[in-house]
Amino acid sequence: MFFVFEGADGVGKTTQVKLLAGHIREERGLDVLLLREPGGTPLGERVRRILLDPSTGELEAHTEMFLFMAARAQLLALRILPALERGAVVICDRYLWSSVVYQGIVGGLGVTEVMRIGRFAARVRPTRTFVLDLPPRLSYRRLHGRDRMERRGREFQERVRQGFLDLARLYPRNVAVIDSRGTPLEVHRRILERLPARGWS
**Confidence band for 145, pLDDT divided at 50, 70 and 90:** low
> Given CA atoms 101, 48, 95, 77 in this order, what sign does their dihedral have?
positive
| Torsion angle defined by CA atoms of residues 48, 50, 56 and 58, in that order, rounded to the nearest 10 degrees | -50
Q: Distance (Å, rounded) from C-alpha 172 to C-alpha 152?
A: 28
Q: Distance (Å, rounded) from C-alpha 51 to C-alpha 68?
A: 8
**Which position has the higher pLDDT, 153 or 69?**
69
Q: How many structural domains does the chain have? A: 1
Question: How many Cα atoms occupy the beta-carbon half-sphere of 82 within 13 Å?
Answer: 6
In a domain, 200, yes or no: no
Mean pLDDT within 137-141: 66
> What is the extent of the structural domain holding 142?
2-193
The model's pLDDT over 9-68, given as tens digits with 9 standing for 90+, comes to 889 999 999 999 999 999 999 999 999 999 999 999 999 999 988 889 889 999 999 999
In a domain, 109, yes or no: yes
In a domain, 6, yes or no: yes
**Confidence band for 102, pLDDT divided at 50, 70 and 90:** very high
Percent of the chain with pLDDT over 70: 92
6 pLDDT higher than 70 = yes
Q: Distance (Å, rounded) from C-alpha 98 to C-alpha 48?
A: 14
Please state, as a whole number, how many other Cβ atoms lie within 10 Å of the Cβ of residue 8.
28
Please state, as a whole number, how many other Cβ atoms lie within 10 Å of the Cβ of residue 90.
22
148 pLDDT higher than 60 = no
In a domain, 104, yes or no: yes
Question: CATH code at 146?
Answer: 3.40.50.300
Give the SS3 label for residue 41: coil
82 pLDDT higher than 80 = yes
140 pLDDT higher than 70 = no
Bridge partners of residue 90, in order along the sequence: 2, 33
In a domain, 33, yes or no: yes
In a domain, 56, yes or no: yes
The model's pLDDT over 150-160, given as tens digits with 9 standing for 90+, comes to 566 678 889 99
Q: Cα–Cα distances in Å, from 84 out to 1, 30, 77, 118?
A: 7, 12, 11, 20
Contact of 95 with 3, CB cutoff 8 Å: no
| Torsion angle defined by CA atoms of residues 54, 59, 63 and 66, in that order, rounded to the nearest 10 degrees | 40
> Given CA atoms 142, 56, 61, 99 in this order, what sign does their dihedral have?
negative
Mean pLDDT within 71-95: 97
In a domain, 45, yes or no: yes
In a domain, 198, yes or no: no
